[in-house]
Structure formats: C-alpha cells, structure tokens
C-alpha cells in the first residue's frame, strides 16, 4: 500500500513527465529517421502538448506541494501552464508552412529540428 500512496504523491508531476518523455521520444525518432520525419515530429509534438494539457486538467483540484515547497501546483500555476501549452501548440501549428518552405529551400533541417524542440 505504501507504493501506491507514493505513486499518488507524484501525480502533480504527471504533466511535466509527459512532456519530458514525449520530447525524448520525438528526439530519438527524429534522429533515427532523419529529414523525412519533420512533419510527423511536428504533429506528434502538438499531440504531446495536448496530452500534457489533459493530464494537467485531470489533476485533482487544490494546491499540491512537493519537494519541500519548491514545486507547487495551485490554480494559478495550472492556468499559466495551460496558457503556455496553448501558446506552444499554436506556435507549432502556425509554423508548419514556414518550416516546410525553409526546409525545402535550405535543406538544412538541423535549424528546423532545433526550433521544434525549443517549443516542446
């Protein structure tokens, strides 16, 4: 029963863990597939942002304090996290055409890949 309560205590970290694991998976996928993965990685990035938003809304209400008060999830923090996720997803969706044009014109996909990673 102690393991279950320890897992329940880590619930406020779920959105951050979702973003971290999703970004690592997309980074590995982009590194293995190469230039052909740009559109798919961009789409998965938006999906991971939506999934992190769903896990953030799914958290139980009320303030959650972890790590001796250094990590706090209250209503204001939750609102700002949702606002950040919406802004990042919107920026990724708006940059689809620009990144496609730039990658076909330059064929330097490292810049396009790094700009996508910074949003996630």
C-alpha to C-alpha distance for 37 and 17, rounded to whole angstroms: 23
Q: What is the pLDDT of residues 4-15, one digit of tens each?
A: 666 677 788 889
- Give me the DSSP letters along 39-68: HHHHHHHHHHHHHHHHHHHHSPSS-EEEGG
Please report, rounded to a whole number, the percentage of residues in the chain having pLDDT higher than 90: 26
Q: For residue 7, what pLDDT is reported?
A: 67
| Cα→Cα distances 112→30, 38, 116, Å | 11, 8, 6
Mean pLDDT for the chain overall: 80
Tokens of 77: 């923090």
Q: What is the pLDDT of residues 63-72, one digit of tens each?
A: 888 888 888 8
Q: What is the pLDDT of residues 51-89, one digit of tens each?
A: 999 999 888 888 888 888 888 888 898 999 999 999 999
3-state SS class at 72: strand
Q: For residue 42, what pLDDT is reported?
A: 82
Neighbours of 51 (CB within 10 A): 16
List 71's β-bridge partners, or say none: 66
Domain extents for the chain? 2-119
Question: Of 24 and 40, which is predicted with more confidence?
Answer: 24
Task: Evaluate the CA torsion angle 34, 31, 117, 13 in order and state its sign.
Answer: positive
The phi and psi torsions of 95 (rounded to 5 degrees) equal -90, 0
Buried b (16+ CB within 10 A) or exposed e, 94-117: ebeeebeebbeeeeebeebbeebe
């Amino acid at each position: 029963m102690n393991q279950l309560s320890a897992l329940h205590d880590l619930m406020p970290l779920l959105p951050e863990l979702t973003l971290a694991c999703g970004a690592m998976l997309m980074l590995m996928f982009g590194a293995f597939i190469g230039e052909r993965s740009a559109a798919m990685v961009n789409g998965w990035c938006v999906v991971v942002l939506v999934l992190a938003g769903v896990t953030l809304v799914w958290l139980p209400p009320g303030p959650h304090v972890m790590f001796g008060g250094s990590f706090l999830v209250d209503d204001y923090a939750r609102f700002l996290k949702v606002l950040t996720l919406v802004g990042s997803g919107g920026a990724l969706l708006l940059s689809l055409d620009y990144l496609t044009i730039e990658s076909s014109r330059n064929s330097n996909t490292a810049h396009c890949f790094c700009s996508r990673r910074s949003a996630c």
